[in-house]
Structure 1
């Protein structure tokens, strides 16, 4: 393949997960792909980072004994070559909503890349609540792979990353017909529950349960609404935390 596009590919499910292989094979048709991914499952570790990690050669690149963020730093600073783009995924299970952005290892890898000055795309596959948990077949990632390839080929040259630091992509399981793509914003819906039974407490994310029950009341333009409607959701996001000027806080500081 004759291409100048260099991609660093990582995930949080582990380098041997089916979704990772599916995305690696799809992107290898249009780019030089080097895998720098966790050796095992690192789901929901957020931006946790280690001081030292192991590295082993893998048929796809490098298997790192650490987190997705470890993989980004190791890939960018030690293993090379310098990528044009970082892609994280394909995760088994959607990463939807504003509250997920700091929790997901898949998204956190993209955030870390953005902080390091490299544009990134995080990609996840939505598994319907009634089917969770299960490991989808490789072909079920086809829609996610098609969407990612489309964005990888066109987003950098069309100026998308002049305005967004990274994209959070969520795709449905591949069906008979291609899914449409919708630009979205992260949903702000969030509902947790905790019940105590003796010396243990069970935590439940009710946000997913409402999605599975078809009771989504998110407005048009949100990522959860797009997924509920069978669309590919693409949220353009920025990595640095924003601050807003507050006169009330100014007064507190002056009074200190």
Structure 2
């Protein structure tokens, strides 16, 4: 175990500073370094990388409560409120963040992306809760339920920096099953490409539905091997090494089109 004075850790989330998942990670990570909490004062789930121009801040028992988004928290924490960290940890989110389509939607992941733009390594940790038809907000989870999340996040915080993991990844998107006795195995994964959003109009409103969660049976799951969703549903810890900013793909078709722009516009 590392000397607790070795690491500076900035901890944030999108469920809010009073969430059980944040407290569980705070307690676990405090054994590995100095943990500064800068987290939203209220639930900011699914806010993406939304940023504010000005946010109010209050000091709480656990750290700083920011009346803003996870991205606000990371900027405020790195630039002003806390010691500049060796690593940023976001989580633990109640509910999984799986698939390519959540990378820009999740507040948890967006906090890690924001850290990456500061060139600070980051880990976003979320927990898959097979809730069925019960809304996650109605589930009462204990600190013990987050044992798998705290165990693997602590392991990565302690070892990933020295191992050179962040020489090849800007941040890690970690998804874990609910704790169930023995530690689950870790699988290095890629985000699933599944996207099953749809919408239904009802009078003056439109109901948006994410149908991905309707087909999470391990026996019939359509996601291929190697994806984050398959790993977690089958009981493994998913670790996806990701980059920010996203890469670009230069190709001849777009280059040729760009070359004709001025000539085409001026001839019309």
Q: How does the TM-score come out when normalised to structure 1? A: 0.97
Question: 1:30-109 residue pairs with structure 2 within 5 A?
Answer: 30-109=32-111
Aligned residues: 256
Deviations 1:30-76 (A, max 9, x none): 11100000011000000000000011111121111110000000000
1:160 aligns with 2:165: yes
**Aligned with 1:235: secondary structure?**
strand
Q: Please name the residue that 2:202 is paired with.
A: 197
CA-CA distance at 1:135 after TM superposition: 3.0
Inter-partner Cα distance in structure 1 for 2:251 and 2:182: 49
* Runs of at least 5 residues in structure 2 that lack an aligned partner in the other structure: 262-268
Deviation at 1:132, TM superposition (A): 3.9
Any conservation in 1 of the 2:218–2:234 contact (CA below 8 Å)? no
Is 1:228 paired with 2:230?
Answer: no
Q: Which residue of 2 aligns with 1:16?
A: 18
- Return the offset for 1:129: 3.6
> Structure 1 stretch 182-191 or stretch 1-10: which is displaced more?
1-10
- Hey, what does 1:27 align to over in structure 2? 29
Asked if 2 retains the 8 angstrom alpha-carbon contact of 1:92 and 1:135, the reply is: no
Query: What is the alpha-carbon root mean square deviation over aligned residues?
Result: 1.2
Q: Distance in 2 between matches of 1:38 and 1:113?
A: 16
1:181-220 matches, cutoff 5 A: 181-211=186-216, 215-220=220-225
The aligned residue for residue 265 of structure 2 is none
In structure 1, runs of 5+ residues without a counterpart are: none
